[in-house]
Amino acid sequence: MAIQPENPGTGNSPVQTERGELRRGPADLGPSGPSGPPAEVASFPGPSAAGHGRWRFGLILAALVLGLAGLTASAAGIAVQILPRRFNTAQQQQIMAWESARHWRVLSAGEIFPATVRYEVPGYALGAESMLPLTAHRVGIARQASCARAASPAAATVLDRHGCAKMLRATYLDATGSLVVTIGVAVMPGPAAAEASIRALPSQQGVRSGVKPLAYRNTLTAGFGEAQRQLTTAIPRGSYLILSAAGYTDGRPRIPGSSDYYDVEEMTSLANGVAGAVGGPLGMLPPLPRCPGAPGC
């Protein structure tokens, strides 16, 4: 008969299983000394959880800062392309001067020199209170020419020195057919050149050198030439110098020192009226340039 221990399954003695195998008790699972605690296992300190967190947060923050910087730079570049471009005052003036300087090329001859021009003689020249409105009629338009060919020699020298490119000319008669005026448009490099040319134009016997009279055969203007010039005018209009030479259609030459008050006033009104009608559209400045907002304007 087998003897059973008092407390089966406890203690340190082997216990026989039903299959006859031996198993150890809980105290036999690991090596131990006779009476001391289990042997210690050597270990090394590693990074703590808090250290890992701070390091990871720093990387994330740096990446976020770099990303925001790139996004800001990209947004600035897009804004430069998309937002309306702005011109300063000097740029606006330059652009408008360029546009005005193109008028003589883009306008037709009939647009530069209208068929009829309204002008007014001042009332005091007539002994009246109101002005007298009159109409001048265009006789003909010449082909564009060099300033040396279309201006008197002294004026051509001045215009050439200041960069005159071309001269446009047309001739008009007053309402009665007794007065004639030739209008010359000197195409200059810019407003400064046009104004400087006026100050440099010489005068001879009280008449300033300027555009050569333009006469047409078989018309009332046929006898109008250099000797018949009674007065001249010069008006700057942007990049253009508007010159005029006026006289009588009957071919009378200018007599120095003699003048008829009314004739001078009417002739001056005719010359200034036609010069203003021609120079106005040519020298008109376009609206202030504004970029529409498209990339590259």
Identity of residue 114: P
DSSP class of 85: P
Cα distance between residue 217 and residue 225, in whole Å: 12
CA distances from 31 to 14, 15, 36, 39, 40 (A): 16, 19, 11, 8, 11
Q: What was the pLDDT predicted at 99?
A: 64
pTM, full prediction:
0.66
pLDDT along the chain (297 residues), means of 10: 47 46 47 49 50 65 66 53 56 58 82 95 82 95 95 94 96 95 95 92 79 96 94 91 95 73 88 94 66 51
- Contact at 8 Å (CB) between 139 and 219? yes
Q: How deeply is 289 buried, as exposed, middle or buried, from its count of CB atoms within 10 A (0-12, 13-18, 19+)?
A: middle
Rounded CA-CA distance 226/209 in Å is 10
Number of C-alpha atoms within 13 angstroms, CB side, residue 237? 25
> Could you give the residue ranges of the DSSP H alpha helices within 178-260?
191-200
Locate 92 and state its tokens.
């606006």
Residue 225 confidence (pLDDT): 94
pLDDT of residue 43: 47
**pLDDT in the model for residue 289:** 52
Is 215 in contact with 224 (CB distance < 8 Å)? Answer: yes
- Can you give the pLDDT at residue 255? 72
Q: How far is CA 67 from CA 58, 60, 71, in A?
A: 14, 10, 6
Q: How far apart are the first and last CA of the chain?
A: 113
Q: d(Cα 104, Cα 91) in Å, to the nearest integer?
A: 22
Helix ranges (H only) for 173-260 are 191-200
Q: How far apart are the C-alpha atoms of 29 and 289, rounded to whole Å?
A: 95
At position 43, the amino acid (one-letter code) is S
Burial 121-145 (b: 16+ CB within 10 A, else e): beeebeeeeeeeebebebbbbbeee
Phi, psi dihedrals of residue 70, rounded to the nearest 5°: -65, -40
Query: Residue 212: its pLDDT value, please?
Result: 96
- The distance of Cα 94 from the centroid of its chain, to the nearest Å, equals 7
Q: Cβ atoms within 10 A of the Cβ of 266, count?
A: 24
CA atoms within 13 A on the CB side of 44: 2
Please answer whether residues 202 and 158 qualify as being in contact, where contact means their C-beta atoms are separated by less than 8 angstroms: yes
Residues 6 or more apart in contact with residue 262 via CB below 8 angstroms: 125, 126
* Residue-level pLDDT at 254: 83
Strand partners, 182: 171, 245
CA-to-CA separations, 201 to 152, 166, 241, 275, 279, in angstroms, rounded: 10, 17, 11, 18, 19
